Amino acid sequence: MSWAGRGGRAGGSGGSGESGESGESGESGESGEFVESGASGRVAAAMAAQPRDRFLPRSQRRRAGYDGPLDIGHGQTNSQPRTVRAMLELLDVRPGQRVLDVGSGSGWTTAILAELVGPTGSVLGVELVPELVRTGAGNVTAAGVPWARVRQADPGVLGAPDDGPFDRVLVSAMAATLPVELVDQLGPHGILVVPVHGWMLRVERDDEAPDGVVVTRHGAYAFVPLITG
């Protein structure tokens, strides 16, 4: 569907993201819409290269194969693998691209994204919770993908506008409305995947579209809100 307007400001500033999925997430009402051409195999290979257990607290590692969110402390979780896979297929990341991971949490999605862009690309993860910034940054360093990094999110700032534009932006916490700030951080034909008001949206910059973006909806999801600092 085409978006009738670009929406208002999101209620968040780089908060819980990958670490913020609720236990009810991952049930898509339109599951057939997720797979982009060629994306499924690339995502599966990237996830296999960055096993989930390496990004979990020691107490949770034995549950790494569980297809649900797992607690990583500070009221946050490591996301359900099925949800991560579906969102990354929608994002359709290509080698050499610049990617922003809003709410990097444990660093798992940041590392997977790094596998997808390869050493000619770059990934920036931003996280609001200081303890998770330290944990996630350490996990990403240990993942062997030096073209990816995690840093503290700037309070009151959604995303990383000073580091843009980005080819792809991933957000895994629920926005109340389409976050225009993140759309504005996309380069030409850039793609944003974000849950908004209960639905997973894929947003593509298209200067020829009436509102400058084309938005499609891909199933019902539940996440914690995108938070402000």
Catalytic residues: 79
Report the alpha-carbon distance of residue 59 to residue 93 in Å, rounded.
32
Half-sphere exposure of 183 (CA within 13 A, CB side): 24
DSSP assignments along 68-133, one per residue: S-EEEETTEEEPPHHHHHHHHHHHT--TT-EEEEES-TTSHHHHHHHHHH-TTSEEEEEESSHHHH
